Structure 1
Amino acid sequence: MKDLKGVIPPIVTPVDDNENVDIQGLERVIDHVLDGGVHGVFVLGSNGEFYALDFENQRKAVEATVRHVDKRVPVYAGASAITTKECIKLAKMAEDAGADALTVLTPMFIRPTEKEMYEHFKAIAGSTDLPVLLYNNPDKTTNNISVSLLEKLAKIENIVGIKNTSFDFAQTIEYMRVTKGMESFKVLSGSDYFVYGTLAYGGAGCVAGTANVAPRLVVDIYDKFMAGDHAGAVEAQYKLVPLRNTYSYGSFPVVMKDCMNLMGIPVGNPVRPIQHCSPEKMEELRKVLASLDLIK
C-alpha cells in the first residue's frame, strides 16, 4: 500500500448519552485531524474505544468516517476481536463500508501460540482484498507479535505493515531489520515517544494517539524528518513528550477525550466504566495544552 506512511491518528469515538456513536462529534474529530495535515485516519483503534462498541456501532463509525473523509486520505478501519470469526466479520463490514485498509490487533484475553496467531492473521487477510496493517500492543492484550512471527506474516501478500505499540524499541528495530528487503512492507511507531526514532531507523511513520489533540505537532516531526531537518524533527518530538506523558493522568483511553473537550472540540464522555480525569488532573491537562498553544 503506497499510501501507508506519515501520521495516522487513531481517532477518538465521540458517543452520546446512551454510549452510541455520535456522528456529528466524529465528524468534528475528523475535521480537526485533517486540518492538522495527517496522512490517514484510523477509526476503531484502542483510543477509539472499539472494545466498547457493538457491531452496529462499529459499522456506523466506519461508514461515517469513510463518508466524511471522502477519499482525502486513506481510512484504516479496526477489525479487532478475540476470535478469528469475529475479526473476519468486522473485516468484511469494513470492506463493504469502503475502508481503504484494515488494522488488526492481536487477540485479547486468550493466549494463543505463535502458530495459532499466524493462522489467525492469515485467515483474516485471506478473507478480504484490503491491505492489512498488523497492530501489536502487548501491554493491552498480553499477546506479542514476535520478530520471528512477523517474518512469516510479512510474506502474506496483503499484510502490508505493522504498528508496534510497545516500549520495546529494540523490537521495532528488529521488525525493520528483518523486513528491510520487502519494499511493500512498512513498520510504524505505535508509541508517541518513538516517532522520530522509528523514522530514523527507516520506519514509515506513526499511529499516534496524541495526533488527536496536536495533529500539527506530530505531523511536524514527520515533515521535518522527511525534509532532512533532523534537528527540527527532534525538537518537535521533545515538544510532544509532555502531552504523551499525560496518558497517566486518567484511565486509558480517557485523556485524549478530556484534552479535546478542554480545547473546545466536544467529544463527550468515555464509555463506562472509564470516567473523566479528576479536577486536579484536568487542571494539569490545561497547563500542558496551554504550553503547546492548544488553549489560551
Structure 2
Amino acid sequence: MLKIEDIKGVIPPIVTPVDENERVDEAGLKRVIDHVLDGGVHGVFVLGSNGEFYGLDFEEQKKAVEITVKHVDGRVPVYAGASGITTRECIKLAKMAEEVGADALTVLTPMFIQPNEKEMYNHFEAIAKSTKLPVLLYNNPGKTTNNISPSMLKKLAEIDNIVGIKNTSLDFAQTIQYINVTRDNPNFRVLSGTDYYIYGTMLYGGFGCVAGTANVAPKLVVDIYEKYMAGDIEGSMEAQFKLIPLRDSYNYGSFPVVMKECLNLMGLEVGHPVKPIDHCTEERLEAIKKVLKDLDLV
C-alpha cells in the first residue's frame, strides 16, 4: 500500500499514444514511460487530461492502466485517473484501477454539470469509500468549471484515504489556501498542477507537482524538486525559470496536443491527438522545435 511519504516529487500525467484507430498504442506508451523514468520522476500518472482520458472508452482506459502498471513494475507509484461526469462512472474506473494494480487514484471534479458543495463532497466521499486505494483530488476549474474551495478541501481531507490534491489553476492564492487549511493534517499533501508554480508551491510547503511538461523535459522538472530538497533554493528557481518557455508552448495548439507534438519532434513517436483536436500548424511546430532546441531536447 502506498504510504503518505511516497506521495511527493515529480509525477508526470503521461500522454497516451494512440494508433490510427485511436486505440492505445502499447509500444508508444512504453516509450513514454521509459522516457520519464529515465528522467528520474517520482511517480507516473496515467489517464490524466494530458493523457486524453476523455477520448478513451472503458476498455481502452483499462488497457492503458494495465500496460502502465506492468511496465513501471513497482519502480515508482502509478496513479490512475478515475474521472468521469457521474459518481457511478468514477467508481467503476476506481474499482478497475484497483483490480489492475494501480497504487493510487486521481479524481477530477465533474465536468459539464455543476454540483453544489454538498453534492461534490458526497461525490468524492462515495468514490473514496468504494476503494482501498489512496485518492488524490484533481482541481482544474479552467477545464471543468467546478472548483474545490479551501473550506470543502479541509472537510474532504478528513476522509481517511483522500490523501492529497493537485491544483491545476492559475489562482496560486488558492494553492496557498489549500496548504494552509491542511497543514495540520500529516496525512494530506498539496501538489502543484500548474507548471509555473512548482517552485512556489514547494516554498509554501507543498510536496511536488503533477507536471505535464515532465512528459517532455523530466530531468529539468525533477531538477526543480531535487535542488529545492537539497537546499539549493537558487538552483531550483533557475530550473523553474528555464521551464517557462516549454510551459508557454501549451498555447501553440489546442490542449492537449503540444506535449505530443514535442515528443514526436524528439523522436518518441506518440502519434496523433484524439479528434477533434488536431496537430499544430507548421509555423507553430517550428516555434515548438526552437523551444526544444533551447533545452537541448532535439
Q: Match of 1:258?
A: 261
Divergent runs of 4+, >3 A: none
- Choose the corresponding residue for 1:110, options 109, 113, 116: 113
Counterpart check, 1:277 vs 2:280: yes
The total of aligned residue pairs comes to: 295
| Residue matched to 2:71 | 68
Q: Distance in 1 between matches of 2:149 and 2:15?
A: 28
Deviation at 1:258, TM superposition (A): 0.1
Query: 1:67 Cα deviation (Å)?
Result: 0.1
The answer to whether the aligner puts 1:220 opposite 2:214 as a matched pair is no
Q: Shift in Å at residue 184 of structure 1?
A: 1.0
Residue 54 (1) aligns with residue 57 (2): yes
Within the candidate set 71, 78, 81, 2:81 is matched to: 78
**2:80 counterpart letter in structure 1:** A
Q: In the TM superposition, what whole-angstrom CA distance separates every residue of 1:48-100 from its partner, at most 9, and x where no partner exists? A: 00000000000000000000000000000000000000000000000000000
Give the alignment partner of residue 41 of structure 1, picking from 33, 39, 44. 44
Classify the secondary structure of the residue corresponding to 1:273.
Answer: coil
Task: Extract unaligned runs of 5+ from structure 1.
Answer: none
**Helix, strand or coil at the partner of 2:136:** strand
TM-score after normalising by structure 1? 0.99
Percent identity reads 75
Deviations 1:114-161 (A, max 9, x none): 000000000000000000000000000000000011011000000000
RMSD: 0.3
CA deviation after TM superposition for structure 1 residue 2, in Å? 1.9
Question: Which residue of the other structure, out of 11, 27, 32, is the alignment partner of 1:29?
Answer: 32
Find the partner of 1:126 among 121, 129, 139.
Answer: 129
Separation in structure 2 between the aligned mates of residue 244 and residue 176 of structure 1, nearest angstrom: 24
Q: Which amino acid aligns with 1:249?
A: Y
Counterparts of 1:80 and 1:272, CA distance in 2: 19
Quote the Cα distance in structure 2 between the aligned partners of 1:30 and 1:183.
30
Distance 1:258 1:179 in 2: 37
Distance 1:130 1:155 in 2: 15
Which residue of 2 is the match for residue 186 of structure 1? 189
Which amino acid in 1 is paired with 2:289? R
